[in-house]
Amino acid sequence: MIAHQSCILVVDDNESVRDILSMLLEARGHRVVIARNGQEALDMMRRESVDLVLLDIMMPVMDGYDVLRWMRVDPELSSKPVVVLTAIHDTESIIKCIEMGADDYLFKPINRAVLMARVDASVEKKRLRDVEHKHIMELAILQQIDRELNASLNLGEVARITLGWAMRQTDAQGGLIGIVEDDKLIILQNEHLPYEEEEVILLKALTGGAKTNGRLQTIQLTPEQTSVKNVQHRLIVPIQREGVVNCLMLLDKEQTPNKNDLNFLSRLRDHAAIALVNAQLHAAVQEANQAKSDFISLVSHELKTPIAVIRNYAELITSGRSGDVSPKQYRFIETIRTNVLRMKALVSDLDDISRIESGRLRLDLAHVALENVLDEVVSIVEQQATQKQQKIFIHLDPQLPLLWADRFRLSQILTNLMSNASKYSPEQHDIFIRAAVVRHDGEAFVQIEVEDNGIGIRDTDKQSIFKQFFRSADKKVRAALGTGLGLNIVRRLVELHNGQIWFESAYRKGTTFFFTVPIAETAVSTPQIS
């Protein structure tokens, strides 16, 4: 007897050949099915899970060549091993059959020893091929699972994908997956078990007291422990990262879990562990970000009132309405006033950041004439520039169309860039503003440039320029006041407009910031209204 019983299909129109082969093969422990011609053989192969075909060539109805031809084009049959039975010395037929996909041949009359050797070899080859095929299929499934898991950083979605694959591949009728916290499980995803999403349950109640010590286990369920009909078995699948069980999956099944279930689940949990941890980290980062935004929002809101009060009192004192003010006191109050204005600007920046980060900043988009906005911005920045004897030169394309922008925010972008250009340039170094229509990826935008001939940006600072709170350690930067929030807000505002921002800079020579703003569609060819 051999270790693996195989199902062998004997195809021959000669009854005595069929009988002899059947007898010999059955005596060897194989299961034998028979067919009298090619047509019956194909029908039988489609009905039965045949491991090997012993195929006669010359037969009525459909001969061996036709069987091979049909098998080759049928994906279900093309990998089945075939040994052709042929008359001795019929080399031509053997060559033809091997060319058509047959694996081996046997001469008639059949020699028992040769038959057994060929059958054993073919059956073993088929077994190895099946094992290989199974591994390839498993790999393909795991690759697909990885693709799905890697596409998401959302914890609920990762849990849903993991549980879905686990239930499908193990034929489970119910299941759930959740996060382990001490002796409890917080449910992330549940299929047909009597719990709510995000419900917190004692692990002991779910696992019948079995320890979730990192090992895959199966427990027997009593009818009270499951609401799924006929289910009797529960697979407990701990998912661990670096030796710590941080997630747990339960799968309830009608049939006893088998070796394939356990093998698949042990691979799945390794793949899912990384994705689940990443998703948990992502959720934690988002939560921390939210907490930061909430804090900034609270602080900036709470500071607004005291700042306004200090400012009003400072103005009241300088107005002389509360009594005489000595020149020295006047200077002190002026210092208070300028610093309060700085605080006000900082609070307003913080407020913008918290509103942008929480998605609460909405643009009020409308048709905007750049020239009008620039008039306003120049009047704001002029004082600062004049103090440094800097002139502002503006050159706009005469055909410049209207912009599709939030006028207030566009003014904020330009004020920031122009104020930086003045702040980071020595005295008497002028500022240049240009605007023209450009095309990016086939779409027309207005590109605005703010150029200075100032201190420039060091190469090592270039990648950090738009980061929150970044200020260069360059002494000439530190000589000016600043918070490092302006350009971060500017970038986000430009991006909210669907524009892009970048810069070119040469250290100690100067810097040019470029940004794009969409054109108001109806105004593409309309000359600018001033």
Cβ proximity to ligand ADP, 177 vs 485, nearer residue: 485
Site for ligand ADP contains 421 (CB under 6 A): yes
Site for ligand ADP contains 300 (CB under 6 A): no
Cα(317)–Cα(425) distance, rounded to whole angstroms? Answer: 35
Site for ligand ADP contains 472 (CB under 6 A): yes
Find, among 307, 363, 384, the residue nearest to 339 by Cα. 307
Cβ proximity to ligand ADP, 123 vs 417, nearer residue: 417
How long is the chain?
Answer: 530
Q: Can you give the C-alpha Rg of the chain in angstroms?
A: 40
Cβ proximity to ligand ADP, 248 vs 421, nearer residue: 421
Angle between helices 38-47 and 64-73 (to 10 degrees): 40
Cβ proximity to ligand ADP, 156 vs 484, nearer residue: 484
Closest approach of ligand ADP to the CB of residue 382, in Å: 17
Site for ligand ADP contains 414 (CB under 6 A): no
* Interface with ligand ADP (CB under 6 A), residue from 226, 511, 516, 528: 511
Site for ligand ADP contains 415 (CB under 6 A): no
Site for ligand ADP contains 353 (CB under 6 A): no
Cβ proximity to ligand ADP, 63 vs 449, nearer residue: 449
Site for ligand ADP contains 451 (CB under 6 A): no
- Cis peptide, bond prior to residue 75, ω within 30 of zero: no
Q: Does residue 505 contact residue 421 with C-beta atoms inside 8 Å? A: no
Site for ligand ADP contains 12 (CB under 6 A): no
Site for ligand ADP contains 453 (CB under 6 A): no
Cβ proximity to ligand ADP, 376 vs 474, nearer residue: 474
Contacts 24+ apart (CB under 8 A), 186-191: 188/155, 188/156, 188/159, 189/156, 189/159, 189/160, 189/163, 191/163, 191/167
| Site map (CB under 6 A) of ligand ADP, residues 199-218, x = contact | --------------------
Q: Which residue minimizes CB distance to ligand ADP?
A: 482
Number of residues located near ligand ADP, criterion CB under 6 A? 21
Cα-Cα-Cα-Cα dihedral sign, residues 57, 63, 66, 72: negative
| Structure-token match 């049909």, residue found | 70
Closest approach of ligand ADP to the CB of residue 496, in Å: 17
Find, among 27, 137, 29, the residue nearest to 79 by Cα. 137
Cβ proximity to ligand ADP, 157 vs 474, nearer residue: 474
Which span (216-224, 338-346, 380-388, 484-492) binds ligand ADP, by CB under 6 A?
A: 484-492
- Please enumerate in sequence order all residues whose Cβ is within 8 A of that of 421, keeping only pairs 6 or more positions apart, or say none: 431, 450, 451, 452, 454, 511, 513
Cβ proximity to ligand ADP, 90 vs 474, nearer residue: 474
* Interface with ligand ADP (CB under 6 A), residue from 162, 297, 390, 420: 420
* Interface with ligand ADP (CB under 6 A), residue from 487, 493, 501, 523: 487
Q: Does residue 203 contact residue 186 with C-beta atoms inside 8 Å? A: no
| Structure-token match 């449910």, residue found | 187
Cα-Cα-Cα-Cα dihedral sign, residues 224, 230, 232, 236: negative
Cα(521)–Cα(496) distance, rounded to whole angstroms? Answer: 17
Cβ proximity to ligand ADP, 49 vs 463, nearer residue: 463
| DSSP notation for 240-276 | EETTEEEEEEEEEESSPP-HHHHHHHHHHHHHHHHHH
Structure-token pair, residue 492: 């986000």
* Interface with ligand ADP (CB under 6 A), residue from 65, 105, 404, 424: 424
Closest approach of ligand ADP to the CB of residue 413, in Å: 11
Site for ligand ADP contains 471 (CB under 6 A): yes
Closest approach of ligand ADP to the CB of residue 373, in Å: 19
| Amino acid present at 136 | I
Closest approach of ligand ADP to the CB of residue 477, in Å: 4
Interface contacts to ligand ADP, rule CB under 6 A: 420-421, 424, 452, 454-457, 465, 470-472, 477, 482-488, 511
